[in-house]
Amino acid sequence: MTIKEIANLAGVSISTVSKIVNNKDQNINSATRNRVLEIVKEYNYTPYGTVKDISMAKTFLLGVLLQDGSGFKTMLNGIVKAAQEKGYSILIFDSCHSSMDELKHITALCKNKIDGLLWEPVDQESMQHEHYFTDTGIPVVYVNSAFTVDTYSIDYQKLGYLCTEKLIQWRHQKIGCLMRENNFRSLQVLEGMKNCLFDHQLSLYDGMALHLSDSSCMASLTSGGITGVVSSDLEETLSLYSQLDKMHYHIPSDFSLIGLCGDDMASINFPPVSNYRIPFWNLGYEACRALINICEKNSDDKPGISLDAYYVLNHEESLNTPASCRGRKFVVLGSINTDVTLTVDGFPETGKSTLITNSSSCAGGKGTNQSMGSARLGHEAVLIGKVGNDADASLIFDAMSQNHLLTEGIYKDSGSQTGKAYVYVQKDGEVTITYIPGANLRLTADDVRSQKALFEGCEYLLLSMDIPMEAAMEAASLAKKSSAKTILKPSALSTLPEVFYRTTDIFVPNQQEAATFCPHIDTIEGQAEFFYKRGMPVVIITLGHGGCYVRAENLKKYFPSADFAAVDATGGADAFISALAVHLSDGYDLEKSVRIAQYAAGFCVSRQGVTTALVDKDTLYLHIGQTEPDLLSFQ
């Protein structure tokens, strides 16, 4: 390719091309310059080798001089991408923290007649070598430089500020900063954290800098009133997560944790820690774009030095409000299943085929339903149960993660499959269920006992009897010792052991279950009275479309169901129990809590499925506010 051919392709004169490729184009407009440069790069044109002085000719070669390139693979990928987009090649030198090597690399770069340089200086003395580039007319864009005002770099102070501000939004006030010893990034993150605390008028305190290498670190964290931690380093984050887990502290129920993670680590499967992304790739890409704009005198497309737009939080799964700001948590014990819902015209009969008109699968089981129902209504719920090590277990954990449920009480049993229920739903909403208990039957009293810490500070135990009896008894005993109230749903029982008359605070059988436990009594009122006199302070017999009957001290009353058309009655009782517990916990009296729970049950049965049909607090309150607004007042 000759200069004449380049000129013809660009529609300009030969002299114009010559001026542009030899950097003598001060009087040529930017549109012409860019058009010519694009063609020159596309056709790999260089001036004739016979020309004696080509010191000013463009080489379309950029230099990258790093202080230490070992940890900047992702940034280099960004640099290469930006260079390739504009037709440039890259020449990379690594100084390995050596000033002597850096100077050798500087002379080599000048000899190679690069068009521009991305430079990360080794130290302050490196700046005395800047004249090599100014003398030869090589433009420089600084990267990660603490010695120049204008530099492309990660603003770790800003990231520390953002992490702290996020914790403050979650209502944390005493926040610690997890650091590496004598580490620049850690010091910058701590400074950003202090600035944020100051801006939000929160006090600084001694000991806010935490070092895992310090033997007193964990004691300071667990007994010093710290509720949220900002971590400057991913390795430290994972180490802290592991140590807290070994001490039976859990994230985010006991502590909130937020940190930083390089974009090169974003695809790796770590524990679900909330991290702001360190945008190394964007740093390299934007710095290289800026350098090319300078090289090509393109002032119309100069990106700013700020990388703020790339500081993005991955999720908020490891964040929670401090325990002192939350309602006391619920512990839920019950089956964990995959529910396969089958819509049919009529229930299966012996010798007949049954047409299924629709089917769907989702996480289910009474334990899952009640914990999700509580979480949707704004209360922290931790589920204790057992699943298999199979695809169904993954579906369940995904559903729990999406609903921000605590899963530290769930065991995996490699020797059994996850429980599965086949739910047949008729057009009138009535259901019949066939059930493979699977891993649910492997839950033991020892499993429950090992989760004793979860019962500390627990307000309600929501207990369903579709799990082994010994596990249920152990849970009821632990709840009693922790002064938690037990709400018992006696599903799947033919007789009720005597111990539950002493440990149950609220007994919620349906009509069929109540009749099973006292077949000698044929009225709802008489059955409720029987349970009440046996020692259960509150008895609520659910009656499906007929609402429920409540017997408690100074209360004997029928409550009508909420006015919803039934589509699938499977989860009505679970929605009722979770809403009842939430509103009793929130300070509503028993009558109002029952009435609100009836609305929650109505929402659930009006839609297909259970976990997908459980109502959230905003929707529930909006409906009640339009239908029965006085119900939401505490008067």
Residues noted as catalytic: 574
Is residue 570 part of an annotated ligand binding site? yes
Is residue 112 part of an annotated ligand binding site? no
Is residue 136 part of an annotated ligand binding site? no
Q: How many CA atoms lie within 13 A of 306 on its CB side?
A: 6
Task: Please provide residue 208's backbone torsions phi and psi, each rounded to the nearest 5 degrees.
Answer: -75, -20
- The tokens describing 63, both together, are 């230099």
- The tokens describing 114, both together, are 């690069």
- The tokens describing 185, both together, are 């990034």
Residue 460 in contact with residue 585, Cβ under 8 Å? yes
Spatial strand order of the sheet with 410-413 comes to 410-413, 381-388, 330-333, 460-464, 485-489, 506-507, 538-542, 548-552, 555-559
C-alpha distances in angstroms, 125 versus 121, 129, 247, 483, 523? 9, 8, 48, 67, 93
Is residue 185 part of an annotated ligand binding site? no
> Which ranges constitute the DSSP H helices of 99-256?
99-111, 131-135, 156-169, 184-199, 217-223, 234-246
Is residue 544 part of an annotated ligand binding site? yes
Is residue 304 part of an annotated ligand binding site? no
- The tokens describing 484, both together, are 């938690």
Q: How many CA atoms lie within 13 A of 62 on its CB side?
A: 30
Task: Please provide residue 359's backbone torsions phi and psi, each rounded to the nearest 5 degrees.
Answer: -145, 155
Is residue 320 part of an annotated ligand binding site? no
Residue-by-residue DSSP string for 219-264: HHHHHS---EEEES-HHHHHHHHHHHHHTT--TTTT-EEEEEEEGG
**Helix and strand tally (H, E) in the chain?**
22, 22
Residue 604 in contact with residue 353, Cβ under 8 Å? no
Is residue 510 part of an annotated ligand binding site? yes
Residue 258 in contact with residue 317, Cβ under 8 Å? no
Is residue 546 part of an annotated ligand binding site? yes
Is residue 341 part of an annotated ligand binding site? no
Round the CA-based radius of gyration of the chain to a whole number and report it.
34
Give the Cα separation of 469 and 517 in Å (integer). 16
Helix (H, G, I), strand (E, B), or coil: what is residue 183?
Answer: coil
End-to-end CA separation in angstroms for the chain: 89
Is residue 263 part of an annotated ligand binding site? no
Is residue 302 part of an annotated ligand binding site? no
Is residue 609 part of an annotated ligand binding site? yes
Is residue 432 part of an annotated ligand binding site? no
Is residue 33 part of an annotated ligand binding site? no
Instruction: Quote helix, strand, coil % in the chain, to nearest 5.
Output: 40, 20, 40
- The tokens describing 385, both together, are 């149960």
Is residue 123 part of an annotated ligand binding site? no
Is residue 592 part of an annotated ligand binding site? no
Q: Of 508, 566, 512, 575, whose CA–CA distance to 368 is shortest?
A: 575
Is residue 225 part of an annotated ligand binding site? no
Is residue 354 part of an annotated ligand binding site? no
Task: Estimate to the nearest angstrom the gap between the alpha carbon of 252 and the chain centroid.
Answer: 10
Binding residues: 337-339, 365-369, 510, 542-547, 568, 570, 574, 604, 607, 609
Binding residues for substrate: 337-339, 365-369, 574
Binding residues for ATP: 510, 542-547
Binding residues for K(+): 568, 570, 604, 607, 609
